[in-house]
Amino acid sequence: MPQIIDGKAISMQIKDELKEEVARMHEVGINPCLAVIQVGADPASCVYVRNKKKACAYIGIESRAFELGEETTQEELIALIQKLNSDEGVHGILVQLPVPKHIDEDKIIQSIAPEKDVDGFHPVSVGNLCIGEKGFVSCTPAGIIQLLKRSDIKIEGKECVVIGRSNIVGKPMSILLLRENGTVTICHSRTKNLAEVTRRADILIVAIGKKQLITKEYVKDGAVVIDVGMHRDENNKLCGDVDFEDVSEIVSAITPVPGGVGPMTIAMLMNNCVEAARK
């Protein structure tokens, strides 16, 4: 049986550490506060926003909710962000994505002050990550590094293969693995002989967005497999980009879906909020 990397337990551990730190902050008059902006009422976004507010409440972070109508203009949204940028009582600003189609997502991300960019999506945050400076890191890849470290899985010197090159997962993931001294290969939809490349991986990170695509043909014996994907199977049960049952037969460690990467994303968002308040 492989080691099942328990994202639920590890994220809880992180949230409890943050809870203690926030209690200490409260004692010295610092009150970490996250502004959560949602435009429209996309059902998946409503669930994500609810979970983020719940995590804030658990840790002791104040969350200020801004629920804006679907018809909100880009100018109105940017005006709200600018107001929150200059509000000293707000440490982090999060705009739940996706925003409605008439709003330019990049413009919204760029209007958030980098020191309040707890999602780590602002070009300044991404630039800092690339050149090894301090700054906020995208929560899902940051959470994966924590999963590996807290499961005693060494990254240094390992062959790390990332499938996916999105701005929020694949690219920052690759840079973080490089920062941990992994040898990193990035695959995408134009990669030739994908299985040949992925079978080189000691650590395989899968962020493709294709239900259970990765079977054991893509994986080396004894590899560590991290599954970022999130889908519903034919029985409406959550599943990932990896065929868990099939791949589990040969790997040394693997994340389940649910209960793997998912809970870590929120834990790292909370970590970034506390960090913003600490600064």
Q: Are 241 and 214 in contact (CB under 8 A)?
A: yes
Q: Does residue 262 belong to the site contacting ligand NAP (CB under 6 A)?
A: yes
**E strand segments, 112-173:** 159-163
Question: In angstroms, rounded to a whole number, what is the distance separating the alpha carbons of residues 5 and 247?
Answer: 14
Residue nearest to ligand NAP (CB): 166
Write out the two tokens for 143.
Answer: 């959470």
Write out the two tokens for 27.
Answer: 């004692």
- The stretch near ligand NAP (CB under 6 A) out of 18-26, 47-55, 207-215, 267-275 is 207-215
Among 14, 61, 68, 228, binds ligand NAP (CB under 6 A): 228
Q: Tell me, what DSSP letter sits at residue 279? A: -
Give the residue carrying structure tokens 């970022």: 228
74 is catalytic: no
Q: Are 55 and 8 in contact (CB under 8 A)?
A: no
119 is catalytic: yes
Nearer to ligand NAP by Cβ, of 38 and 212: the residue is: 212
Question: In angstroms, rounded to a whole number, what is the distance separating the alpha carbons of residues 10 and 147?
Answer: 7
Min dist CB 15 to ligand NAP, Å, is 15
Q: Examine residue 98 and say whether the peptide bond preceding it is cis (omega within 30 degrees of 0).
A: yes
Pair type for strands 33-39 and 62-68? parallel
52 is catalytic: yes
Min dist CB 50 to ligand NAP, Å, is 15
Please list every residue from 168 through 187 that binds ligand NAP, using CB under 6 A: 168-170, 187
Q: Does residue 192 belong to the site contacting ligand NAP (CB under 6 A)?
A: no
Binding mask 140-169 for ligand NAP (x = CB under 6 A): x----------------------xxxx-xx
Q: Tell me, what DSSP letter sits at residue 242? A: B
Q: Does residue 126 belong to the site contacting ligand NAP (CB under 6 A)?
A: no
Write out the two tokens for 118.
Answer: 């707890």
Min dist CB 87 to ligand NAP, Å, is 28
Active-site amino acid positions: 52, 96, 119
Q: Which stretches of the chain bind ligand NAP, using CB under 6 A? A: 140, 163-166, 168-170, 187-191, 194, 207-210, 228-230, 241, 261-262, 265
